[in-house]
Structure 1
């Protein structure tokens, strides 16, 4: 019996349109061939096998022809590449040969020149030698009788290369010129020469008159011609920087007028300036790394902040000019907290700034109740937009410093603005009040308040109706309306009221 693959081939030879089953695969498929005569189904098995073998050989021959064609194509591409490489190598060899021929030609020309010069020198030497022979014969005539004796002969041979070397050696002196000279010792009299100028004064004169500037500084489109040496000596920013003749500085960091003041400070002292100029100088000196100017600006800033009337102005200018300096000046604002709380600048503060201020230990108040009402005042001026900040502000209020009675009845009262009523009904605030009462449980001064682990800077204003001194034994309680009335009085009085403040512990305070 025939194998399955042979049976399939036989079926395809018999019926070319017969489809092959999908579950059987074989690489052999019969094609339509023109057989001699009709197909006889009664052929023997050997004849069928011979036909199949012939068909396989035919397919193999066709595949070999295709592979030979591909091999020839690859060989032709490889031959083309080898040909290009060969041409490149030949061109490189030709170029190298031309270079070597040029070098040899230059060497030959130099050798030819040297030989020509040498022959010319020999010709000149022979001419000189003949002149010496002629002079010798003219000076020493030989008698006729002694002409052939050889007693009066002289050297008449042709000059050689050794003779030329001797002539050159005799022509060049063997002793250096400095050995023949003796240096004289001169007397330098100071009176004979003009007085030398002071280099420091001369350099300062060049800087002040701006003679020969070497650097152009460009700020906001304005050019300033300066001396890079002066800037490098005073500023680490310029000393540690490799720049060309033009340098661009950002106008947001250092305005043009501030750069002019800094350059003037390098040459001469500054007698007067405004607070805005002071803050701008301080910020620019930190940017340019001018240590000496930074120290002077901070020293002047501390002197200004000693006066309470200038603290608010200084803080306002710093808030507008430089945020970093404003953060440093913020603790000084606590010294004038109540006048500051009555200003428009306090109402316009951002949440982060008001929260940072309420955390200060340097807030000058008579009671922690004033700190609470200050936060309520800020919330009320932007209510209900500032409602989301209410709980966060209450977390920085120190309820343990408030009087005991105020904490007990705080959530029971109904007066005050919507912001205060919202806080009274807050569960978080109730918990904060409870914690404050817990800390006051064993405190003897809990009815007065102002006693705790983290106190404020307690003060006393004689013009405030609800302020008390530390010796007063009266119970302390302040309503929101009383605080607002006091704030209005501060607005009318201005900064003069801040100068009347006294310390909470002064013995001369008489309140009740």
Structure 2
């Protein structure tokens, strides 16, 4: 379960037949054929999935009383069509790995279907999400927090999130918007997060705050204290403030505490190599960058960041793993726009 398969084998779906329209109707000829082929029908809502009975029965006793041609109806609130499809694929091909963003949905469905061998594997991972690869740990962390809040279950797992290379891709997920403030501050305070520019940290905070500004505005000062303003030229912040992308953004920029933090941002000519650095990277999907000594560094608009977010959503699953780390002491700029 380490990562999503970027190019799934189409043969895996050979036993899955979806019929999304209308209720299940079993005519005599089709039922007879299903019995001959040892096929059962799984109904989830109005969706029918045809499966081989021996594959189901060798993995869980949930279907132990099934006979060929039988119809099983599963509660959609516990087992989604998407999760069942993945589980059946795993039953047929145990080496299959689940997409990280569907781990918790799949886990809940596996528990309902009493797939004990898989549930044990999940729970071993849940004991310490920090040992998993970053994106897997992130989705497990978010899913476990949600499970704890919804079910009031006391869960024993780390309260902080380990994110380094995955930081920018994390911002583009819907789960990012649900992070608790203390968890997000733990990530933002880390010197190990990988960014093209410290402005991305500032804009990441803006995105989180304005998802629900009325209730989150009380965290503004603590969030802004995570930004390393000594890595951002004051001219870049002033430009961002003078051209807000939406009206309510001006509310944040005009708060007195923002003015206080702005005083820590040096003039462009002083912002070279000695700031309180993060891990600077170069991403070819990004049109802005940090490379030391380059006049383009750190100048970024809110819309540019949004476009970059959308590009990351469309990027290959492991794009975040392959970004290049920059040496801030090398004077050669990596950005193609600057070489022209």
Which of the five TM-score ranges fits, normalised by the shorter chain? 0.5 to 0.7
Paired position in structure 1 for 2:159: 327
The structural deviation recorded for 1:383 is 2.8
Kept after mapping to 2: 8 A contact 1:416/1:481: yes
Kept after mapping to 2: 8 A contact 1:459/1:502: yes
Q: 1:316 aligns with which of 135, 142, 145?
A: 142
Distance of 2:194 and 2:274 partners within structure 1: 15
Q: Deviations over 1:300-321 (max 9, x none)?
A: 963x33xx55343343355447
Q: Secondary structure at the match of 1:495?
A: coil
The structural deviation recorded for 1:444 is 5.8
Identify the structure with bigger relative contact order (alpha carbons < 8 Å, sequence gap 6+). Answer: 2
Q: TM-score, normalised by structure 1?
A: 0.37
Paired position in structure 2 for 1:153: none
Residues 420, 326 of structure 1: CA spacing in aligned structure 2 closer, same or farther, 3 A cutoff?
A: farther
Write the mapping of 1:61-140 to structure 2, written as runs, cut at 5 A: none
The structural deviation recorded for 1:359 is 1.6
Stretches of 4+ aligned residues off by more than 6 angstroms: 506-509
The structural deviation recorded for 1:478 is 0.3
Paired position in structure 1 for 2:229: 399
Residues 342, 316 of structure 1: CA spacing in aligned structure 2 closer, same or farther, 3 A cutoff?
A: same
Paired position in structure 1 for 2:36: none
Paired position in structure 2 for 1:495: 317
Kept after mapping to 2: 8 A contact 1:366/1:504: no
Counting helix residues as a fraction of each chain, which structure ranks higher? 1
Kept after mapping to 2: 8 A contact 1:318/1:326: no
Residues 317, 383 of structure 1: CA spacing in aligned structure 2 closer, same or farther, 3 A cutoff?
A: closer
Kept after mapping to 1: 8 A contact 2:165/2:321: no
Q: TM-score, normalised by structure 2?
A: 0.54
Kept after mapping to 1: 8 A contact 2:165/2:320: no
Distance of 1:309 and 1:407 partners within structure 2: 30
The structural deviation recorded for 1:395 is 2.4
Distance of 2:155 and 2:239 partners within structure 1: 41
Q: Secondary structure at the match of 2:201?
A: helix
Distance of 1:274 and 1:335 partners within structure 2: 28
Residues 459, 417 of structure 1: CA spacing in aligned structure 2 closer, same or farther, 3 A cutoff?
A: same
Distance of 1:462 and 1:510 partners within structure 2: 9
Kept after mapping to 2: 8 A contact 1:365/1:456: yes
Paired position in structure 1 for 2:173: 343
The structural deviation recorded for 1:490 is 1.0
Q: Does 480-489 or 349-358 show the bigger shift?
A: 349-358
Residues 335, 500 of structure 1: CA spacing in aligned structure 2 closer, same or farther, 3 A cutoff?
A: closer
Paired position in structure 1 for 2:283: 461
Q: Deviations over 1:309-337 (max 9, x none)?
A: 53433433554477653335x1x323210
Paired position in structure 2 for 1:476: 298
The structural deviation recorded for 1:279 is 3.6
Unpaired runs of 5+ in structure 1?
Answer: 1-256, 258-263, 265-269, 283-297
Unpaired runs of 5+ in structure 2?
Answer: 1-110, 149-153
Distance of 2:323 and 2:228 partners within structure 1: 23
Superposition RMSD in Å: 3.5
Distance of 1:421 and 1:488 partners within structure 2: 24
Residues 418, 348 of structure 1: CA spacing in aligned structure 2 closer, same or farther, 3 A cutoff?
A: farther
Residues 275, 493 of structure 1: CA spacing in aligned structure 2 closer, same or farther, 3 A cutoff?
A: farther
Distance of 2:159 and 2:121 partners within structure 1: 16
Tell me if 1:510 matches 2:334: yes
Paired position in structure 2 for 1:387: 217
Paired position in structure 2 for 1:31: none
Kept after mapping to 2: 8 A contact 1:355/1:396: yes
Distance of 2:213 and 2:201 partners within structure 1: 18
Q: Secondary structure at the match of 1:371?
A: helix
Paired position in structure 2 for 1:61: none
